[in-house]
Structure 1
Amino acid sequence: MLDFFNSIFGHNSDCVGVLDQDLTFIYANSALVSLMSDIKNSRDIDFGVFSINDLDGSLVFKIMDTLEKGNANTIYTNKCHCSVTRFVLDCDVYVVIMFVEVGGILKQLKCDLEYYKDLSRKDPLTGLFNRRYLKEFPLRMKDCFCYDFIFFDLDNFKNTNDMYGHSFGDKVLIGIADKCSSLISMSDELYRISGDEFVLIRKSEGDVNKLLKKMVFEISLPSPHSLTHEIHVQMVSFGVLECISTYEIRNKGIMNVIAECDFNMYLNKV
């Protein structure tokens, strides 16, 4: 059966699939498998593991109508344009779908991929970049620049959570992320890499100490608890490495550079 379908549709440059009466794909030509592998984000995909809903759920009822009435339809949806034909082979009923235009599907796929890519590199609480994206920094850095690394954490933040609750602690973290984001340029990258630990990477331009003073001022601004109305003042500690070359970053490894910053912060605390 598959050989029969492949002899007819195998070399077609359009995406062609054959569905049984349960709207399950029993055949997909290479063009359709390639499209589905993009959608499923897998190069080695068996056409049996995807359904018409993966392509365009709005096609289902129109295809069912073709199955029942036996006529051929040209179907337009927001995602695609396809021809649907019912045929009977060895007393079994099938539907052949030829996708003439799949631009909508690919456009939606591109949007979905960008959305999930952005989601995978962001901290869900603060919206800052996360540790995963930090590890990829060497892939993005420009060889013509040197970089400053600023590691900072919140002093006695565990006590803040214990005293005021984790909900208040989350608000403190979000507020600090917003405040620090407002102080940096578009080319800087600010990360939350764990509970109360943050990393800022910036091109080695301007006075780092001037930026640190601004950050200390903004972070330490008093914030009242919404229920107790107690005033909370958050202090912060920094560890800095200035003017680090791309060669040094690659040679040491990005996480070892961060570890040095962390150690410098420890020295500043003691």
Structure 2
Amino acid sequence: MQSLVHFLSSRMGNDFKILNWNPIQKCILVFILFIQIKVLWIIWKAYIFLTPEVQIFVYLSEVRLQLYIEFFEIFVAVLFIVGLLLISKSRKGEVILPYLSVNVFGLTLIFDAYMAGVFSPNTMTNAVCYLFVGFILFNVRVMLSVITSLAITIGVISDQTIKGNLVNAPLFNFETIGTPEYLNGFWMGSIAYFTFPIIIICILLLLLILKQWRERESYIAHLVQFDALTDVYNRRKLTEILQHLDRGKKHAILMLDLDHFKQVNDRYGHLIGDQVLISAAEVLKANIRSTDILGRYGGEEFLIILNDTDEKNARSIAERCLRALAEIEHPLTHDSTFNVTASMGIAFLYQGINVKDALNSADIALYQAKAEGRNQIRFSKDILG
């Protein structure tokens, strides 16, 4: 059993989110659903063979023949699943196999639909469920191919049934079922049995897919607003926040740049550099107020927006951040660490000052802090006089 689980995990991947599966993995799901449908048919036939009083409502020879066919179909479906698992990473297979799998699934179930009645309520309901799930799992071309093949096949069967060349629902003996059919408990029970389990399976599958869809949308929304490395706001989101700040209040813009960061990357490598950025972001988050906003503005540069604050508070928070950054012991080896300082320029945004000018002032102040020795703070007014 463990070897089977390992085999499935290695072929299907550890990510069991259906939306992340490749087309071949989705084909495997189709055949698993196919086997479940066949098992429902087998259970129904077992009930008939174990319940003599309902046998008058069916043709036992047809029931027995279809039972043999279903066992064979399950065997073939298992072979398909094994084969698909073995080639689950084939690029060519991802293009071709969805067409084959979906059409095999659809055309095989047409035989079941014919045996139970092409015009029966369960056939129509189940067809809608399958198509709906199919359009979510596969691209439009794949689904149009199966719709075309099914429409032609069902059209021929319907035409021949209307003309009397084919028997409608050959499994059932309508002479004993009587007319109207809905007065017969066995007939109605059979229709319900082949309708509701499929609806429930499809609804559960759709709920799972929709849940994963929402998670994916949430993740994409997160990526649009947050920096992938440090998990703080990115430049686009920071710009958006700045544009919507209440200009009736005074806000401090802190432009922070890690000192000599290029040397860190050159000397220790980019992986160490990335860890320095992650640690810096964590320390900055811990040293600003809950109402303040932190983001990565680009490279080793961070931007902090202090909402509704004055110069005194801005300086206090800025000094606390620089002090905390300088105290971080960045690990290099098990017994070796190094420190990285930062420089900061501060400007204010309020009524009459546009965002571009405020950012430019903070950037000029930052440049001045670096030019005067780094690891220090400069306010834009210090430069402008």
Shared fold, TM over 0.5:
yes
* Partner residue, 2:344: 238
Higher helix share: 2
Correspondence for 2:217 among 79, 102, 113: 113
* Partner residue, 2:109: 66
* Partner residue, 1:217: 323
Correspondence for 2:362 among 245, 261, 268: 261
Q: Report the number of matched residues.
A: 206
| CA distance, structure 2, for counterparts of residue 262 and residue 198 of structure 1 | 11
Evaluate the alpha carbon distance shift between residue 226 and residue 155 of structure 1 in structure 2; reply closer, same or farther with a 3 A threshold: closer
The superposition leaves residues 185-229 of structure 1 with CA deviations (integer Å, 9 ceiling, x where unpaired) of 333221112211110112023611111111111100152543274
Q: Is the CA contact 2:276–2:330 (under 8 Å) kept in the aligned structure 1? A: no
Evaluate the alpha carbon distance shift between residue 245 and residue 66 of structure 1 in structure 2; reply closer, same or farther with a 3 A threshold: farther
Correspondence for 1:166 among 270, 282, 289: 270
1:208 aligns with 2:208: no
Q: How does the TM-score come out when normalised to structure 2? A: 0.45
RMSD, matched Cα: 4.0
Q: CA deviation at 1:91?
A: 3.5
The superposition leaves residues 11-37 of structure 1 with CA deviations (integer Å, 9 ceiling, x where unpaired) of xxxxxxxxxxxxxxxxxxxxxxxxxxx
| CA distance, structure 2, for counterparts of residue 170 and residue 157 of structure 1 | 10
| CA distance, structure 2, for counterparts of residue 219 and residue 105 of structure 1 | 44
* Partner residue, 2:293: 189
State the AA in 2 paired with 1:189.
I
| CA distance, structure 2, for counterparts of residue 241 and residue 159 of structure 1 | 28
* Partner residue, 1:14: none
* Partner residue, 1:35: none
* Partner residue, 2:55: none
State the AA in 1 paired with 2:266.
D
Q: 3-state DSSP class of the match of 1:136? A: helix
Evaluate the alpha carbon distance shift between residue 246 and residue 110 of structure 1 in structure 2; reply closer, same or farther with a 3 A threshold: farther
Q: CA deviation at 1:132?
A: 1.8
User: Any gaps of 5 or more consecutive residues in structure 2?
Assistant: 1-18, 35-101, 117-122, 134-146, 159-198, 372-385
Higher strand share: 1
Q: 3-state DSSP class of the match of 2:333? A: coil
| CA distance, structure 1, for counterparts of residue 346 and residue 369 of structure 2 | 10
Q: How does the TM-score come out when normalised to structure 1? A: 0.61
User: What is the percent sequence identity of the aligned residues?
Assistant: 21
Evaluate the alpha carbon distance shift between residue 246 and residue 67 of structure 1 in structure 2; reply closer, same or farther with a 3 A threshold: farther
Runs of 4+ in 1 over 6 A off after TM superposition: 100-104
| CA distance, structure 1, for counterparts of residue 290 and residue 297 of structure 2 | 19
* Partner residue, 2:261: 157
State the AA in 2 paired with 1:199.
L
Evaluate the alpha carbon distance shift between residue 210 and residue 138 of structure 1 in structure 2; reply closer, same or farther with a 3 A threshold: closer
User: Any gaps of 5 or more consecutive residues in structure 1?
Assistant: 1-38, 40-50
Q: 3-state DSSP class of the match of 2:238? A: helix
1:176 aligns with 2:280: yes
